[in-house]
Every structure is written in C-alpha cells, then in structure tokens.
Amino acid sequence: APAIRLEDYQPPAYRIGTVDLRVELAPSETIVRAVLSITRQDGTHPGTPLELDGDDLALVSLTIDGRVPGQDEFNAAPDRLELFTPPAESFELELVTRLDPDANTKLMGLYRSSGTYCTQCEAEGFRRITYFLDRPDVLSVYTTRLEAEKDACPVLLANGNLIEEGPLGDSGRHFAVWHDPHPKPAYLFALVAGDLARVPARFSTQSGNEIALNIYVEHGKEDRCAWAMDSLIRSMRWDEEVFGLEYDLDVFNIVAVSDFNMGAMENKGLNIFNDKYVLADPETATDQDFANIEAVIAHEYFHNWTGNRITCRDWFQLCLKEGLTVFRDQEFSSDMRSRAVKRIADVRLLKSHQFPEDAGPLAHPVRPRTYHEINNFYTATVYEKGAEVVRMLKTLIGDDAFKAGLDLYFERHDGDATTIEAFLACFSEAASTNLDQFSRWYEQAGTPVVTAETDYDEGSKTFTVSLSQEIPPVPGQKNSKPAVIPLRFGLIGANGNDLDTGAPEGTRLQGDVLILNKAHQKITFDNIESRPVLSLLRGFSAPVRLNQSLSQDELVFLAAKDSDPFNRWQAVQTLLMKDLVRLTGETRQGNRAAPSSDTIAVIGNVLTDASLDEALRAQALVLPSEADIAQEIGKNVDPDAVYEARQQLRKAIAGAHGAEFQSIAKSAMPNGPFSPDAASAGKRALANRALSFVAVSELAGAAETIWERFAAAYNMTDRISALTLLVHDHLAKEEEALATYLKRHESNSLAMDKWFMTQATAPGAETLAKVRALKTHPLYDAGNPNRVRSLLQSFATGNPTQFARGDGAGFELVAESVLEIDRRNPQVASRLLTSFRSWRALDPQRSALAETALLRVSSFENLSRDSRDIVDRTLQ
C-alpha cells in the first residue's frame, strides 16, 4: 500500500453529525446497526462519492434515507464502502454489520477479554465495528444502545451519560442507552459489557458538579482498586488546581481488562485499561507498579482535555495530544513525589528508549511526515520526546507565558481537531515571540549532539563557553538545521556555590538558561575571579547528547557539589559510564583492568551523604544498563564484553563498600505496615539497591542474606528484588526461590508476569532453552499481550547477551515468535520486532546473524502491514 503523507491532507468531503448505534451483543455474532446523519461539506461538489473506511467488515444491509439502494449505487468490500452518488444534501445512512468478537484476536475494534466485551478504537479500530469516516477530524455526537444477556452481561457501558436502561421483555436480555453530548472522533468511541464488579467513589468539581466515579474489574479484584481510585481523585483535583481544567460529564468510568494491546485508552467518559495499570496491592505490585498506575491513570484522565476536548486533525499530529499529555502526567507525578527523582527517571527512560530509536533505522520526527501503519507511531519519539519539546517551550518562554499560551489554546481550540501549528501559534502570541525555528523540533528526527568547551583567561578574568550543535545523519534526512536549544547552566566556584554571572553582552541568556540557536556560538563571562566548573544542561533542559570536555576532577567535583540534583546524578553516571566503556574495551582485548578509584570513592560519598534522600541515593547507585553502555559505545558492540565489564565494576564497588551496603540493606528498610508513598518507596529502593551489591560481594553469608530477604519479604518490591538477584546472579536456592514464587502467585497473572520476566532476562546461556520451554508453560498465553511482553519482549530488550548470542539462536527465537504472533496480533508482533532496531551497532558477526533473522521475517509473504513496515524500515 502507498505511504500516507502529511502534505496530502484534505479536509473530509462529508460530515457525520450524529451516530446512533444499536449493538446486539453475542459472542460470535454481534449485530451493529449504525444510523449516521451525513452532510456534504461546503465546497464539496454535490454527488461527490462517499467513501467510508472498513476493516474486515461483513455488511448485512444498508439503507439511504430509509430506501434500499440498487446494486449499482454502492460497492461494499470488507475494507471499504462506497456510495457512488450520495444525496446532494443531508441524508441518513443506516448500516447493519455483523461482527465476531470471539474471533477478534487483534484486540482492535470489538473483542472479548475473559468474557467481557470491550473495544479499542484508536487509531483505526472503529472501522472494524461499522463503516465510517474513521479519521480524527470527523467529530460526531454518539448515542449508543447496548443489548445483551442480563446474566452474562449485567454491566452495560458506553461513552457519556446513561439515559435509559431496562429489561427486553422476558427474553433474559436487557439494554442500556448512553449519550455523549460532546462531539468526538470515532477513535474515542467505547463500549463495555460483562459481569464485572464496581468500585464506586464520588468527586465534587471546583464549580460544584457531583461526578460519579467507578472502576469496574473482574469479581474478586475489587480490593486491588483503591490506589487507582485515589490516583484518579488526585488527578482530577490537580488538573483543576494547576491547569484550571474541570471534568465535563456526570460519570467517569474506568474498566480494567486483562487483554489489551497498550497501557490504557482515554475513550470519552469510559477509559479502558490494561489491568496492569489498575490493580495493585502490596502483595502483588511493586513500588514501580504503584507509581506507574498513578501516572497512567493521570495520563488518561488528562487526555479528557488534551486529546478529547481538543483532538488531532490527522494522525500526523499525534504528538499534539500525546506529547502534551505526557508532559502533564510528568508534572503531576513530580508534584506528587520528588521532582528530582521523577526527572531522573524520565530522562533515564528517554535515553534508554527514545535515543536509540532516534539513532537507528526507525528514527522519525516528533511529527512524522509519512507512515504506512499508524499503529507503529505510538513511539517513544512521539510520546517522550514530544513531552520534552513541550517542556523546552516552557523553559524558553517562561512559566507565565507558557501558562497564558495554554489557556489560550484551551479557549481557542476547545471542540477542535487541530494541528501543531495552531498549538504553537497560541504560545507565540502569548509570549510575543517567533517560534518558527523552535518548530524544527517537530520536524527533524535525530538527537542533536551539543559540544561544549570552556576556556578561562587568568589575565582578563574571563570565562568563555564555546558551544556547537549537530544532528548526526538520520535515514532520509540530510542537512539538518540548527535547533533552538535551551541549556540551563551554572558556573560553580571552588566552594561549591553558583557564581552570580549576569548576562554577558550580545548573547541570548535568560536567567540561568543559555539559548543555543546557531551551529556555533561563543559566550564570554566577565569578572570571573578564578576558573569555575561549568554545570551544563541542568535538569536535562533539552533532549540532546551533551559532549562536554570535563576533566575527571571536574566530574568528581560536580558529583559532590552541584546544587542541581539532576546534574549531580548525571556526574556520577558519567563517571560510571567512562569506566564501563574503558573496562569493556579492556575486556575485549583480553586485558584485566581495574575500575578507577574515583568512581569507587564517588559511590562511597553518595552512600554516606545524609543530605540526599533515599530515593535519590538509590538512583545514583543504579549502574548504567548493558543497553546504555552499548549505546554509548555506538558501534561494533560485543554484548558479552559489556556484561563482563559491568559485572566487574559492580563487584569492585561491592568489594570496597560491602559493609556499608550490608548495613544500609538492613537499616533503610521501612518498618510497619506497607505504604506506597514516595518516601517509603525510596527507602525500599535504597535498601534493595544496596542488596544488589551485597549479592556480588565476597562477604560471608551474602547469598543467604538474599534468600532470607526473599523468604521474609512482606511486599512485592522486596520479594521480586531478591528473586531477581537470586536468579540473575545464580545464587544458591535460585530454583527453590522460583518454585516458591510460582506456588505463591500462580493464580495472579500480573505477578506471574514478573516471574516470566525474571527468567527471560537472566544472563547465561541456559536462558534461551528456558524461554523456549516457558513458551509452553500452562500459565503462558501467546494470545495475551502482557504475557508476550513479559517473556519475549523482555528477553529481546532486557537480555542483551542472550538476544544477541554469538550463535544467532536468540535472534532466531525472537524472529520465529514474531511470525507466530503476527498471525494473531500484528500490533504485538511488530512491537516485538522493533527490538532489532540497533542491530547495525553490533559487531559484524552478530549483526550478520541479526540480518539473517530479519530477512527470514521479511521473506514471509503474509506478514501483516504492521510487521512489514517495521521489518522494511529496520533493514533499509
């Protein structure tokens, strides 16, 4: 199929004002009657053919204004319905389609998850329910009538407010009618029907409206919804307080289902969630799970304004809703927790997921210009880099102008399907500034590399910072142009205090932010008494790779003294990374080298610095992952050498500070009843981090300590941390621990996902056979996306030595699994396939093996459009 291009955008020829649906639900034969009121758009020639989208549809009947058209008036195919000469003015089209929800394994459109009927319509799932103008700039008012067996489906839900319900005679069936007064695109349509338990709560909005809140889950899971409900209420309050945005229906429903392609979906008034992002209790969810639930609940709720009230004109504008909403959920989590720790976590995610995407064959701009399959563009670039762009905008124009710009956006575009240009225009007006150059962030792929060099002149007492920027080559993008890069900075004096620099003449400097907007720029600071240390990119103020020539002493100084917690953490990471890259090189040469004493000492300082909270100390003790190190090395990567070097550093740190780690592991543990709050979670994180070093120390009884910790754990965070150490470091009782865990959690599939993942990410040659065996485990289900991600995706992305084995068997396993899954669920398969994206950075032997596996996938003729798109781009 030809590519879809942004430049080809045309407004729709017809409007669909209202959609009246009647859905008669049955597992393998659901009948959908859709009545669409259609109007020709001004400017459309009367009689212009009407082409409606379909996907795998079976048309039962059709009428136009109540009349059955002749065969020569229309053409119906599974993927398209065309009316050759529609009535010249407004008309009513009635369509009846027949669906088979039980056979829907793609989990797009209407399907069943553990017996519950549910829908997923973003991006193009509504066309699997009825023929429609399935594009985000067609906004309609929906009324949905559901009919189903009362016993099997006592709960009937759709978007909007409930307006009527009752029995259908004495047939044993019943109905419910929902009306959503807010015009919306089809991708926000949803329905749910099933036998579900309801967890209710209420919320009073700031203007006094009473909202009924409900979370629906499978029976027996009600007591695992408290955290999600608490998060929802805090999100609603926060959006009112921080953005002045209030909820706009009588009811807000959330439904948790166990089979879901992504994290959750923001359908108007009826959010549908992957149950992983709803269900939590201390026994089965980690602190990270609690934090993720808080963030995803907030994210979907915030979409009510950024996505639903104001939506996208076309799918190229996806970042308009996703980047902005991720920015908003990041801000929410920062306010709920430690801002510095949240920033570090977000930047870690950006660097580990988005940077490699931007550096490989799947690189694309935050707003792509072309696509074959839109489902493949729900990426870290659109979401996470999209959020960074919004954050930079705030940094550049300042908090007040940013707020004024957003207020203007909500006021001007409420009810619109709009574009990035319209969004930026609001900020440009509010800040009276031209954002043309800034908009390059939406248009250019690739991560800019910023190089910074400094020079101090003793005689003139001047300090000069020379900056340059460049975007390395990206497929299909030559000649990148300079971006506007806000660089937050400080000049630190010998005592550790920031100097008051003032604004140097003729430079663009806003407070503590340097604006780099040319390929090369020089900034000179006057009256600097002695050479300061430049702390640059504080708070990670732009999504760039910083190439700064800091000496080892300067890095050690920043790691100890920087007043910016993010850059302090960054300095520790840079020291660790320098060592890891050096050690990898030495390992590869067959040399035995030692980690630097600076690194060991810096870790010792972090350990004992009581001025840092536990969560921050825990973050500083996380060594760069094997994937991070590989990314830093960039080419000719040998994952075995990377793994060896990392283990060597880990052991050296453990050897130097073992006793300290042991005492932290004991003392930092919070006592008393479990609480998921950030401070308690920080204590657990630090204790478990310390334990990870104890595991590889030579201390007497280290392995026993880990086992005891596993056996005595009273929450999932501690249990899974200890289990991971036992399995990944192959400590005594590894198998016993896995068996104990299995027995304890076998009835809880989310907890079992952690069990699959722990084994799939274990280093060691035996893992491959284990993963193959686990594919046939009775608790594994290849049709469930969470299971596939926990076993195969985590193997492919979280086990570099085994995925990229020297014999190619890891690549083969993943390629073969992609082909198996692709038949059932193309979205899950194509996502798994993206794990090959950095294949060209591997050493020649491994990259040849990866290419063979990719070619095997590519040679499969019946590949889905999703996987075809990824494999073609990956091989290009």
Q: Given the rule CB under 6 A, which of 29-37, 246-254, 257-265, 457-465 is the region that contacts ligand HT7?
A: 257-265
Is the distance from CB of 305 to CB of 287 less than 8 angstroms? Answer: no
Strands (E), 499-639: 509-510, 513-516, 520-525, 533-536, 545-548
DSSP-assigned letters across all residues of 654-683: HHHHHHHHHHHHHHSS--SS---SHHHHHH
| Cβ at position 339, least distance to Zn ion in Å | 22
Among residues 258 and 325, whose Cβ is nearest to Zn ion?
325
Among residues 325 and 521, whose Cβ is nearest to Zn ion?
325
Kindly report the number of other CB atoms within 10 A of residue 496's CB atom. Answer: 13
Among residues 261 and 797, whose Cβ is nearest to ligand HT7?
261
Q: Which of 40, 221, 276, 299 binds ligand HT7 (CB under 6 A)?
A: 299
Quick one: what does residue 314 bind among Zn ion, ligand HT7, none, with the CB cut-off 5 to 8 Å set by partner type? none
Is the distance from CB of 104 to CB of 110 less than 8 angstroms? Answer: yes
- Binding to ligand HT7, residues 591-610 (CB under 6 A): none
State the residue for tokens 């686990």. Answer: 774
The two three-digit tokens of residue 565, written as one number: 């917690």
| Cβ at position 131, least distance to ligand HT7 in Å | 20
Among residues 146 and 265, whose Cβ is nearest to ligand HT7?
265
| Cβ at position 348, least distance to ligand HT7 in Å | 20
Helices (H) and strands (E) in the chain, counts: 29, 31
Is the distance from CB of 456 to CB of 531 less than 8 angstroms? Answer: yes
Quick one: what does residue 378 bind among ligand HT7, Zn ion, none, with the CB cut-off 5 to 8 Å set by partner type? ligand HT7
Specify the DSSP element, H or E, that contains 141: strand 140-149
- Using CB positions, name the residue nearest to ligand HT7: 262
The contact mask relative to ligand HT7 for 204-243 (x = CB under 6 A, - = no) is: ----------------------------------------
Among residues 97 and 271, whose Cβ is nearest to ligand HT7?
271
Among residues 266 and 734, whose Cβ is nearest to ligand HT7?
266
| Cβ at position 307, least distance to ligand HT7 in Å | 7
Among residues 379 and 801, whose Cβ is nearest to Zn ion?
379
AA identity, residue 185: P
Catalytic residue selected from 300, 331, 357, 384: 300
Q: Which of 53, 147, 180, 266 binds ligand HT7 (CB under 6 A)?
A: 266
61-64 own/partner pairs: CB under 8 Å, 24+ apart: 61/94, 61/95, 61/96, 62/93, 62/94, 62/95, 62/96, 63/93, 63/94, 64/91, 64/92, 64/93, 64/94
Quick one: what does residue 410 bind among Zn ion, ligand HT7, none, with the CB cut-off 5 to 8 Å set by partner type? none
- Binding to ligand HT7, residues 497-516 (CB under 6 A): none
Quick one: what does residue 761 bind among Zn ion, ligand HT7, none, with the CB cut-off 5 to 8 Å set by partner type? none
Quick one: what does residue 188 bind among ligand HT7, Zn ion, none, with the CB cut-off 5 to 8 Å set by partner type? none
| Cβ at position 322, least distance to ligand HT7 in Å | 5
- Binding to ligand HT7, residues 318-357 (CB under 6 A): 322
Q: Which of 265, 612, 629, 828 binds ligand HT7 (CB under 6 A)?
A: 265
- Binding to ligand HT7, residues 390-449 (CB under 6 A): none
Is the distance from CB of 368 to CB of 398 less than 8 angstroms? Answer: no
| Cβ at position 277, least distance to ligand HT7 in Å | 10
C-alpha span between 814 and 793 (Å, rounded): 8
Quick one: what does residue 375 bind among Zn ion, ligand HT7, none, with the CB cut-off 5 to 8 Å set by partner type? ligand HT7
- Binding to ligand HT7, residues 558-597 (CB under 6 A): none
Among residues 300 and 562, whose Cβ is nearest to ligand HT7?
300
Among residues 275 and 322, whose Cβ is nearest to Zn ion?
322
C-alpha span between 825 and 821 (Å, rounded): 6
The two three-digit tokens of residue 423, written as one number: 């969004």
Is the distance from CB of 322 to CB of 357 less than 8 angstroms? Answer: no
C-alpha span between 742 and 474 (Å, rounded): 46
Q: Given the rule CB under 6 A, which of 298-306, 553-561, 587-595, 769-777 is the region that contacts ligand HT7?
A: 298-306
Is the distance from CB of 243 to CB of 324 less than 8 angstroms? Answer: no
Quick one: what does residue 214 bind among ligand HT7, Zn ion, none, with the CB cut-off 5 to 8 Å set by partner type? none
Q: Say which residues have a Cβ less than 8 Å from residue 567's Cβ, sequence separation at least 6.
A: 535, 536, 537, 538, 539, 558
* φ, ψ (nearest 5 deg) of residue 195: -100, 90
| Cβ at position 318, least distance to ligand HT7 in Å | 9
Q: Which of 218, 239, 300, 628 binds ligand HT7 (CB under 6 A)?
A: 300
| Cβ at position 237, least distance to ligand HT7 in Å | 20
- Binding to ligand HT7, residues 371-400 (CB under 6 A): 375, 378
- What single-letter DSSP state applies at residue 124? T
Residues in the chain: 876
| Cβ at position 123, least distance to ligand HT7 in Å | 5
Number of alpha carbons in the 13 Å side-chain half-sphere of residue 26: 9
- Binding to ligand HT7, residues 110-139 (CB under 6 A): 120, 122-123
- What single-letter DSSP state applies at residue 262? S
Q: Name the site residues for Zn ion (rule: CB under 5 A).
A: 322, 325
Among residues 418 and 717, whose Cβ is nearest to ligand HT7?
418
C-alpha span between 825 and 120 (Å, rounded): 13
Q: Say which residues have a Cβ less than 8 Å from residue 393's Cβ, sequence separation at least 6.
A: 402, 405, 427, 435, 438
- Binding to ligand HT7, residues 778-807 (CB under 6 A): none
| Cβ at position 255, least distance to ligand HT7 in Å | 13
| Cβ at position 120, least distance to ligand HT7 in Å | 5
Q: Say which residues have a Cβ less than 8 Å from residue 192's Cβ, sequence separation at least 6.
A: 116, 117, 118, 119, 155, 156, 157, 158, 216, 253, 255, 270, 272
- For residue 40, the cross-strand partners are 14
* φ, ψ (nearest 5 deg) of residue 272: -115, 130
- Residues that bind ligand HT7 (rule: CB under 6 A) add up to a total of 15
| Cβ at position 292, least distance to Zn ion in Å | 14
- What single-letter DSSP state applies at residue 73? G
Among residues 86 and 125, whose Cβ is nearest to ligand HT7?
125
| Cβ at position 124, least distance to ligand HT7 in Å | 9
Among residues 128 and 145, whose Cβ is nearest to ligand HT7?
128
Characterize 615-650 residue by residue with b for buried, 16 or more Cβ atoms within 10 angstroms of its Cβ, and e for exposed. bbbbbbbbbbbbbbbbbbbeeebbbbbbbbbbbbbb
Among residues 81 and 108, whose Cβ is nearest to ligand HT7?
108
Quick one: what does residue 261 bind among Zn ion, ligand HT7, none, with the CB cut-off 5 to 8 Å set by partner type? ligand HT7
Annotated active-site residue 300? The verdict is yes
State the residue for tokens 């910074």. Answer: 452
C-alpha span between 479 and 485 (Å, rounded): 18
Kindly report the number of other CB atoms within 10 A of residue 602's CB atom. Answer: 21
Q: Say which residues have a Cβ less than 8 Å from residue 677's Cβ, sequence separation at least 6.
A: none
Quick one: what does residue 122 bind among ligand HT7, Zn ion, none, with the CB cut-off 5 to 8 Å set by partner type? ligand HT7
Quick one: what does residue 554 bind among Zn ion, ligand HT7, none, with the CB cut-off 5 to 8 Å set by partner type? none
Quick one: what does residue 120 bind among Zn ion, ligand HT7, none, with the CB cut-off 5 to 8 Å set by partner type? ligand HT7
Q: Say which residues have a Cβ less than 8 Å from residue 76's Cβ, sequence separation at least 6.
A: 54, 59, 62, 82, 131
Quick one: what does residue 851 bind among ligand HT7, Zn ion, none, with the CB cut-off 5 to 8 Å set by partner type? none
Binding status of residue 261 toward ligand HT7 by CB under 6 A: yes
Q: What residues act catalytically?
A: 300
Q: What residues make contact with ligand HT7 under the rule CB under 6 A?
A: 120, 122-123, 261-262, 264-266, 299-300, 303, 322, 375, 378, 827
